[in-house]
């Protein structure tokens, strides 16, 4: 499931940053057109210390102005009507559910954060369905950062028949993925190099990972792949 995150910022005379403070998160499900809201409540840790009931009412008013339904199947996002507010659109990302996606974006100030993870698998023989992992990726949906681990020619998960020709195919494909990732990150476009990868490659999503950093999340994702592959081989 693919989601687009939006963050609503509110700038008051008490704000300590130019953009103001985040007061709401909106998660948009691109497939169902559903939205889920997470609003900062006065007096809670996620709300600015200066926020009161009147401020909360202004936030609700702006959310009503931002969300527009031209028909019963579509949701559109408009710019805030109050200049004290600004809306930031994040990079689309995949998650198990809308609840997971909302948690990943809204709960970004704890000791750990939620990251999404997936693998790239290679199918060496088109006559069979057997695949093995050639790379592991972890994505931080809050800032659109993606990191990965690539298994080289001495891939411990590959069969003994994994030859140099197949290794070159995998190498070229992964190089292409990294180029598309770099392009997407430099232009702010959606990172989507893991769709329509042809008959020999596929992307498999892993369970979202709670970690202290993206590097820590990658270590955990690799461990998940290692344990799953070992179980399959036994």
> In this predicted structure, which of 78-92, 138-152, 204-218 has the lowest mean pLDDT?
138-152
CA 12 to chain CA centroid, Å, is 30
Same domain, 62 and 120: no
Q: Are residues 79 and 7 in the same domain?
A: yes
> How high is the pLDDT of residue 144?
80
Q: Using CB atoms within 10 A of its CB, is residue 141 exposed (0-12), middle (13-18) or buried (19+)? A: buried
pLDDT of residue 196: 67
pLDDT digit string, tens, across residues 208-228: 999 999 999 999 999 999 998
pLDDT bucket at 192, cuts 50 / 70 / 90: low
Kindly state whether residues 55 and 120 are assigned to the same domain: no
Residues 138 and 88 in one domain: no
Provide mean pLDDT across the span 154-181: 89
Looking at 63, 81, 106, the residue that finishes a domain is 106
Determine the pLDDT at residue 50: 94
For residue 197, pLDDT over 80 is answered with no
Tell me, yes or no, whether 142 and 215 share the same domain: yes
Coil, helix or strand at residue 125: coil
Q: How many separate domains does the chain show?
A: 2
Q: Residue 190 — very low, low, confident or very high, per pLDDT cuts 50/70/90?
A: low
102-116 CB burial, b ≥16 within 10 A, e <16: bbbbbebeeeebbbb
Task: Give the model's confidence band at 56: pLDDT under 50 very low, under 70 low, under 90 confident, else very high.
Answer: very high
The model's pLDDT over 5-38, given as tens digits with 9 standing for 90+, comes to 999 999 999 898 888 999 999 999 988 999 999 9
Identify the CA nearest to 5 among candidates 77, 112, 82, 54: 77
pLDDT for position 194: 63
Q: Do 118 and 222 lie in a common domain?
A: yes
pLDDT at residue 23, as a whole number:
95
Same domain, yes or no: 117 and 218? yes
Query: What pLDDT score was predicted for residue 208?
Result: 92
Give the residue numbers spanning the domain of 149: 113-233
Q: Provide the pLDDT for residue 214.
A: 94
Length of the chain: 234
Question: What tokens does 2 get?
Answer: 């693919």
């Amino acid at each position: 499931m693919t989601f687009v995150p939006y963050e609503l910022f509110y700038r008051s005379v008490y704000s300590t940053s130019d953009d103001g403070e985040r007061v709401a998160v909106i998660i948009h499900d691109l497939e169902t057109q559903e939205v889920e809201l997470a609003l900062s409540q006065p007096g809670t840790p996620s709300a600015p210390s200066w926020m009161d009931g009147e401020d909360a009412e202004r936030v609700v008013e702006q959310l009503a102005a931002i969300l527009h339904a031209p028909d019963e199947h579509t949701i559109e996002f408009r710019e805030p009507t109050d200049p004290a507010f600004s809306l930031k659109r994040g990079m689309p990302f995949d998650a198990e559910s809308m609840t997971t996606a909302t948690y990943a974006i809204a709960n970004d100030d704890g000791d750990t954060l939620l990251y999404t993870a997936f693998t790239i698998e290679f199918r060496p023989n088109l006559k069979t369905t057997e695949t093995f992992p050639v790379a592991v990726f972890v994505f931080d949906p809050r800032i659109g950062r993606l990191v990965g681990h690539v298994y080289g020619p001495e891939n411990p998960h590959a069969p003994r028949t994994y030859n140099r020709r197949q290794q070159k195919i995998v190498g070229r494909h992964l190089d292409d993925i990294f180029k598309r990732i770099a392009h997407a990150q430099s232009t702010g476009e959606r990172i989507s190099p893991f769709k329509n990868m042809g008959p020999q490659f596929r992307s498999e999503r892993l369970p979202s990972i709670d970690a202290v950093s993206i590097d820590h999340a990658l270590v955990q994702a690799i461990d998940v792949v290692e344990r799953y592959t070992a179980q399959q081989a036994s």
